[in-house]
């Protein structure tokens, strides 16, 4: 139960009432895949980035309170040969994971169930602006019209197959383009905001 974590986070988290947002910040191939047919994301680094641009990632993550990711994405990141990259709490959606690796205790929390219930629990802990990550996870959020911002960075490559970012929806969802930038002369990063009035 996440409710026991209230004592962990207490009042340290700033309350940002009315700022609940679920945001996606993700890179895709031209043909809309987030991982190739082998599940690899090596192609994300196919464009030279000599000045180590963070592609706006630091600015984006400074505006979020916590991350909600699918278990497959957790496994990918945890498998990288590097230190845990997230400073903010990470809520991992999983029906199968039962244990959090010792080194990640206090940083990673397991959640499961209906997304609206999961979101209520996370909001109750004071985390309102959420970074939603993972293909199936983003698709599940979109199915329930729970995504407010899409920051999509297109890498100039056709993968021909792999894990798609998008899946079928039962209803159209309108978005507004807030900005579009060319990064390192090769990538296009667009910020779309959900417009529920249309």
Ligand X SMILES: NC(=O)c1ccc[n+]([C@@H]2O[C@H](COP(=O)([O-])OP(=O)(O)OC[C@H]3O[C@@H](n4cnc5c(N)ncnc54)[C@H](OP(=O)(O)O)[C@@H]3O)[C@@H](O)[C@H]2O)c1
The residue (of 55 and 125) whose beta carbon lies closer to ligand X is: 55
Burial of 15 (0-12, 13-18, 19+ CB in 10 A): exposed
Residue closest to 139 by CA, chosen among 21, 31, 34, 36: 34
Q: How far apart are CA 21 and CA 93, in angstroms?
A: 18
Q: Give the count of beta carbons closer than 10 Å to the beta carbon of residue 5.
A: 17
In the complex, the smallest distance separating the C-beta of residue 88 from ligand X, rounded to whole angstroms, is 16
The residue (of 93 and 125) whose beta carbon lies closer to ligand X is: 93
In the complex, the smallest distance separating the C-beta of residue 48 from ligand X, rounded to whole angstroms, is 18
Q: How far apart are CA 78 and CA 81, in angstroms?
A: 8
The residue (of 144 and 174) whose beta carbon lies closer to ligand X is: 144
Q: Given the rule CB under 6 A, which residues bind ligand X?
A: 26-27, 34-35, 39, 41, 44, 69-73, 76, 93-97, 112-113, 115, 133-137, 140, 163
The residue (of 107 and 143) whose beta carbon lies closer to ligand X is: 143
Reading the block at residue 19, the tokens are 């700022």
In the complex, the smallest distance separating the C-beta of residue 85 from ligand X, rounded to whole angstroms, is 12
For residue 125, the 8-state DSSP code is T
The residue (of 89 and 135) whose beta carbon lies closer to ligand X is: 135
Residue nearest to ligand X (CB): 70
In the complex, the smallest distance separating the C-beta of residue 40 from ligand X, rounded to whole angstroms, is 7
Give, for 62, the enclosing helix (H) or strand (E).
Answer: helix 57-62
């Amino acid at each position: 139960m996440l409710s026991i974590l209230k004592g962990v986070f207490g009042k340290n988290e700033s309350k940002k009432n009315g700022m609940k947002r679920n945001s996606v910040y993700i890179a895709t191939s031209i043909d809309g895949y987030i991982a190739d047919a082998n599940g690899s994301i090596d192609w994300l680094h196919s464009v030279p980035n000599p000045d180590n641009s963070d592609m706006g990632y630091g600015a984006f993550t400074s505006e979020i309170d916590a991350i909600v990711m699918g278990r497959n994405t957790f496994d990918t990141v945890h498998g990288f040969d590097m230190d845990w990259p997230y400073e903010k709490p990470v809520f991992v959606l999983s029906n199968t994971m039962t244990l959090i690796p010792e080194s990640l205790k206090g940083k990673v929390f397991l959640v499961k169930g209906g997304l609206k219930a999961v979101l209520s629990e996370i909001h109750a802990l004071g985390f309102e602006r959420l970074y939603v990550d993972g293909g199936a996870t983003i698709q599940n959020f979109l199915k329930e019209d729970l995504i407010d911002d899409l920051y999509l960075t297109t890498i100039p490559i056709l993968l021909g197959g792999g894990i798609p970012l998008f899946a079928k929806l039962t209803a159209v969802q309108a978005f507004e383009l807030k900005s579009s930038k060319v990064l390192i002369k090769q990538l296009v990063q667009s910020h779309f905001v959900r417009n529920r009035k249309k």
